[in-house]
Structure 1
Amino acid sequence: MEPAANYQSDVLVIGSGAAGLTTALQLADHVSVIVVSKGPLTEGSTYYAQGGIAAVFDENDSVESHIEDTLNAGAGLCDRDAVKFTTSNARDALQWLIEAGVGFDQVGSDKSKPEYHLNREGGHSHRRILHAADATGRAVQTTLQEKVLQHPNITVLERFNAVDLITGQRINKANGCYGAYLWNRKQEQVETASARYVVLATGGASKVYQYTSNPDIASGDGIAMAWRAGCSVTNMEFNQFHPTCLFHPNAHSFLLTEALRGEGALLRRPDGSRFMDGFHELAELAPRDVVARAIDYEMKRLGADCMYLDISHQSVEFIQQHFPTIYKKCLELGIDISKDPMPVVPAAHYTCGGVTTNLNAETDLPGLYAVGEVAYTGLHGANRMASNSLLECLVFARAASQHILSKGPGAAPLSNIPAWDESKVSNSDEEVVIQHNWHELRLFMWDYVGIVRTSKRLERALHRIQLLQQEISDYYSNFRVSNNLLELRNLVQVAELIVRSAMSRKESRGLHYILDYPELLPQAKPTRLIPDATTR
């Protein structure tokens, strides 16, 4: 085995989606950057994002309208300053992407004066979604990673798991974040990365649920690491379930973008009748939490495996132009969406809460920033509006980068951080135990902490989590780390934060719907959890 490496840089970015790569590119002309990617660079939620990015490009639209739509979708719990900050900086962030080479769909043939094709999605009062057909995330990801790989000041570490943040408390230094321990999956050893600043861009935690639209890496790593390092988290009870994932044994939770409904696709029961007009005045264009609950309700009421999404009123040419990826995927599975409805079910999609940050993306821990889905900025409130997620990544990546650069050179990264101690552990011969715990956690989180909750279900979930935590703690203390063990440890921690946050909210608001407390409280307050000394 090769000696464990000790990487050093000015900024360590953990995560390689839109948030992480944008942060790296904004910094790299001025400082050295290391980007840590858990898998291949493309394997993140950004790559699979279909819909688009919200920004005001229509002269009939306005930032004020974008603000109000976001506040309404957030069910009274958005931070108005964060919403205003994000929407006001949206166009500049998108312009930067356009200049970077992302090819958003246009109307007309005059490329010197581009006019962009704008979609409308749930919760939006105007068409304001820039998109690259139905594969916007892929266009963004591939464009950014090409630039990252070409930049001389950026080093990319692929197939590295972040294990834990290196804090002052851990190494007897002043309070702050000094880097991270990384598990090199190729060498199967823990290595050290020290930096002046650390940026978490690790995405969300939807893998805590049995059914999710997210890739396998979405295991809440950044949230769990920040919590163990002493950072607060906010609004972890608000997990967004995307209403329309393709229901097919070979679909692997393939997402059906909300833009389908923006172009007139209708939700139908198995008998072909519509139902969304009975749940909300906006029908299929209602906010995601409303649509997901409606589908869930109809499935349970009818004992049906799925509902159906129908866009067969549009021409084949229209569908192939605007939704080529979905058309091709469904055709491969024997579904011609120009003629037949698509079977759909809700699936865990987005973590609206996260590590508490300010408008500079700073966390509670000096030197540590959080950007993207891992963070709670206040933008999303109790429910994220469609196509505000990639926007948040871009806007706050730029904000974090500007704040870091404003601090000047500062002290050099530490060169004497203690190496990871594996002297008292051995290789596991019981990997099957991790797999069993993994499946148990995701199943009871789906059953007990899903779209509709009760106090009794939450209590049962917490009891099961506590048992798992003890097992994992014993296991983690005795055996060398592995990808599955690290992810399970983080998922169980995030599951506890979700459940404790849900238990503390005695109302139904946005994505948190609990049968014991169906009404809204008169005053909307965020749920903030703060770790104590025994938690770290």
Structure 2
Amino acid sequence: MIKADVLVIGSGISGLSYAIKISERMPEAKIIIVTKADEDESNTKYAQGGLAVVTDFDKDNFQKHIDDTMRAGDGENNLEVVKMVVREGPERFKELVDWGTNFDQKDGHLMLGREGGHTENRIVHHKDITGAEIERALLATVNKSPNIEIMAHHYVIDLITQHHVPNKIFDLEKIDCYGAYVLDEKNKEIKKITAKITLVATGGAGHVYKNTTNPIIATGDGIAFVHRARGKISNMQYYQFHPTALFSKRDGMLFLISEAVRGDGAKLRTKDGAKFMHKYDEREELASRDIVARAIDNELKISGDDYVGLDCREMNQERFIEHFPNIYQKCLDEGIDPFTQLIPIVPACHYLMGGIDIDMDGQSSIKNLFAVGECTNSGLHGANRLASNSLLEGLVFGHNAALKTVELLKINDFNFEDLKAIPQWDEEGMKMMDEMVMISYLRRQLQEMMSDLVSIVRSNDRLALAKRKQQEIFEAVNELYNYSILSPKLSELRNLTNISYLIIKHSLMMKENKGAFYNKDLV
């Protein structure tokens, strides 16, 4: 058994900033960060646009940012949470700079971008790789902290709760978290890591769909194992589809064309070059993501085309290359000259607004279990996330969760007598799968079902069919899980199956269209 004061699951902006804050305040605390891939692989790394924060108080103010956030979330946001995040933003941003993150400047002033749904230029950025720059700086700070250990390629299978303690009564209203069972991929062994406080910062679940902008690790692990531990999960019906992902005939992770490109003047066109956004919203290309994504989806249904075009031909070429060097290079690599051709784009699954229910300190419904970031239902995003608010959420809630964690650690009111009785992971009678075809087949079936029936536009009939299909897939996955030695791929499939169940269940409960959720039978 490995013991820690704090166990952090995930190595993106939420988990890393949280760990740094605790390390600074309690250098004697033992902090373990587990991540299922390389230490820098996270959704944070792929965030292109930047961080939404009020810095130019001559032109911008907190109320404008609050109003923009509430408008994008279709009023389903928690107003007090929105106010807190927006108002704390500048201080958290300053800390990010202090940790060594570089943001684009000109003549000593921050260069501020604008994205859909924002009424002012307020996006701080580092070219078009802001997330990667933040990840670099945070990891450099973590690696200087002697009391933080990163365990890469360690995959969390399940949380440890009273459910795992022999002869312990499992009270659904009083669940405690004691840590997690973690698969060491290199040594092929399942470790028991116990902790006084556990943080879930596992990001999103984009690979529940065929096409997503998320990295391959985004399989909803944290939400799924908190759900299995009987933690409270909400608003899973709200899944944002980014309007502009680079079209590909291959399923999987699609390359994101940042919303900042439209903020700088790019226009949407049909395949034959006709404008269409004016038909859907007076803000046209700068409408919120749900509106733009549905507009594109509708145009594709009308035309039967595979994609629409993003028109950058009239944009300033020098500025484009300076601001979006990776997007420009990716287009060239795909044989597209964005200054003479339309960039072929499609909407792709991008960001989950729902997840683990948390309070303003990041505490979940399970005692001693915190959660931060995309895996949570924090109240910030409501029915649809405003562009570039996600990195801000990670910083603010990471800060609050760290302060509350330090408070709890200092009180030291932890009864861990039960830990001695928690067994090691039992694989007796299980067998190693001799081929992966069953896992690949079931994962593909799940993704196709979700993409066809539970996507940008839903209907009562589609959701009813999806519910039946999901149950069939769940039963097949459960049978595999019950007799197989666990692997990350099998665990991810199990988690994606849980995620699909929650999305379908919460979609069926909806009685009106809100934000990113759209059922054509509710119009």
Q: Comparing 463-472 with 46-55, which one deviates more in the overlay?
A: 463-472
Return the alpha-carbon distance in structure 1 between the equivalents of residues 496 and 84 of structure 2: 31
Q: CA deviation at 1:426?
A: 1.4
Structure 2 counterpart of 1:50: 48
Amino acid at match of 1:201: A
Tell me the distance in 2 between the aligned counterparts of 1:130 and 1:41.
24
Structure 1 residue 431: Cα displacement: 2.4
Amino acid at match of 1:439: R
**What residue number does 2:390 align with?**
389
**Does the residue aligned with 1:28 lie in a helix, a strand or coil?**
helix
Please state whether the residue corresponding to 1:157 is helix, strand or coil. Answer: strand
Instruction: Tell me which residue corresponds to 1:231.
Output: 231
Match of 1:26 in 2: 21
Output one character per residue of 1:268-305: Cα deviation in whole Å (capped at 9) or x when no partner: 01111111111001000000000000001001100111
Structure 1 residue 398: deviation in Å? 0.4
Matches of 1:461 and 1:186, distance apart in 2: 37
Q: Which amino acid in the other structure matches residue 231 of structure 1?
A: G
1:467 match: secondary structure: helix
Give SS of 1:267's match: strand
Asked whether the equivalents of residues 195 and 413 of structure 1 are also in contact (C-alpha less than 8 Å), the reply is no
Residue 281 of structure 1 is matched in structure 2 by 282
1:160–1:183 contact (8 Å) kept in structure 2 = yes
Give the match for residue 112 of structure 2.
Answer: 118
Q: Paired residue for 1:143, among 134, 137, 144? A: 137
Residue 96 of structure 1: aligned partner: 95
RMSD: 1.4
Which amino acid in structure 1 is aligned with residue 87 of structure 2? S
Matches within 5 A, 1:214-293: 214-249=214-249, 252-293=253-294
Q: Distance in 2 between matches of 1:428 and 1:47?
A: 33
1:281-360 aligned within 5 A: 281-360=282-361
1:188 aligned residue: 188
In structure 2, C-alpha distance between the alignment counterparts of 1:205 and 1:248, rounded to whole Å: 20
**2:212 and 2:253 in contact (8 A); partners too:** no
SS of residue paired to 2:155: strand
Q: Which amino acid aligns with 1:517?
A: L
CA contact (8 A) 1:441 1:465 kept: yes
Shift of 1:506: 1.6
Give distance in 2, aligned partners of 1:313 and 1:175: 58
Pair 1:38 & 2:36 matched: yes
1:253 is displaced (CA, Å) by: 0.4
- Which residue identity lines up with residue 353 of structure 1 in the other structure? G
Counterpart of 2:377?
376
Give, in whole Å, the separation in 1 of the partners of 2:192 and 2:98: 36
Q: Distance in 2 between matches of 1:182 and 1:408?
A: 23
Does the aligned pair in 1 maintain the 2:211–2:253 contact within 8 Å? Answer: no
The answer as to whether partners of 1:201 and 1:371 remain within 8 angstroms in 2 is yes
1:437 aligned residue = 442
Within 5 A, what are the aligned runs for 1:432-471? 432-471=437-476
Structure 2: how far apart are the matches of 1:192 and 1:433? 28
Q: CA contact under 8 A between 2:161 and 2:178: conserved in structure 1?
A: yes
CA contact (8 A) 1:9 1:413 kept: no
C-alpha separation in 2, matches of 1:300 and 1:377: 34
**Where in structure 2 are the equivalents of 1:477-496 lying within 5 Å?**
477-496=482-501
Secondary structure, aligned partner of 2:522: coil
Contact 1:315 1:338 (8 Å CA) reproduced: no
In the TM superposition, residue 413 of structure 1 has moved relative to its aligned partner by 6.3
DSSP-derived class of the 1:512 partner? coil
Q: Deviations over 1:61-91 (max 9, x none)?
A: 1111100010000012111011111111111
1: CA distance, partners of 2:204 / 2:211: 14
| Aligned match of 2:171 | none
Measure the CA separation in 2 of the matches of 1:147 and 1:140.
Answer: 11
List runs of 5+ in structure 2 lacking aligned partners.
169-173
CA contact (8 A) 1:19 1:394 kept: yes
Give the superposition deviation at 1:392: 0.5
Deviations 1:497-524 (A, max 9, x none): 0000000002111111101101xxxxxx
Runs of 4+ in 1 over 3 A off after TM superposition: 172-175, 248-252, 411-415
Question: Which deviations, in whole Å up to 9, do the C-alpha atoms of 1:222-252 show, x marking residues without a partner?
Answer: 0011111111111100000000000134795
DSSP 3-state at the match of 2:159: strand
Q: d(CA) in 2 for partners of 1:246 and 1:515?
A: 27
Cα distance, 1:469 vs. partner? 1.3
Are residue 63 (structure 1) and residue 26 (structure 2) matched? no
Q: Secondary structure at the match of 1:343?
A: strand
**Secondary structure of 2:191's match?**
strand
Structure 2 CA distance for aligned equivalents of residues 311 and 56 of structure 1: 28
Distance (Å, rounded) in 1 between the aligned partners of 2:126 and 2:342:
24
How far is 1:430 from its partner? 4.5
- How far apart are 1:147 and its partner, in Å? 1.4
Contact (CA 8 Å) 1:268, 1:309: kept in 2 or not? Answer: yes
State, as a whole percentage, how many aligned pairs show the same letter. 41
Q: Secondary structure at the match of 1:440?
A: helix
TM-score by length of 1: 0.93
| Secondary structure at 1:218 match in 2 | coil
Residue type at the aligned position of 1:56: V
Query: Which whole-Å deviations, capped at 9, do the CAs of 1:374-412 have from their partners, x for residues lacking one?
Result: 011111111101000111011100010001111243148
The answer (yes or no) to whether the contact 2:215–2:253 under 8 Å persists in 1 is no
Query: How far apart, in 2, do the equivalents of 1:98 and 1:371 lie?
Result: 21
Deviation at 1:317, TM superposition (A): 1.1
Could you report, residue by residue, the CA deviation over 1:113-172 in whole angstroms, capped at 9, with x for unpaired residues?
A: x42000010000100100001110010011111211221010111011100000123215
Q: How many residues align?
A: 508
Report the CA distance between 1:329 and its aligned residue: 1.1
What amino acid is aligned across from residue 189 of structure 2 in structure 1?
A: Q
Q: Pick from 8, 13, 17: which aligns with 2:8?
A: 13
AA at the equivalent of 2:327? I
**1:407 match:** 408
1:212 corresponds in structure 2 to 212
Distance in 1, Cα, partners of 2:100 & 2:121? 22
- Residue 526 of structure 1: aligned partner: none
Q: CA deviation digits over 1:3-49, x for unaligned, max 9? A: xxx22111000001111111111111312210011100122111111
Q: Determine which of 156, 161, 170 is the counterpart of 1:162.
A: 156
Give the drift of 1:316. 2.2
Verify the 8 A CA contact 2:216 2:253 in the aligned structure 1.
Answer: no
Counterpart secondary structure, 1:223: helix
Match of 1:79 in 2: 78
Tell me the amino acid that sits aligned with residue 506 of structure 1.
K
Q: CA contact under 8 A between 2:241 and 2:348: conserved in structure 1?
A: yes
Question: How many angstroms apart in 1 are the aligned matches of 2:361 and 2:441?
Answer: 41
CA contact (8 A) 2:214 2:253 kept: no
Code of the aligned partner of 1:337 = P
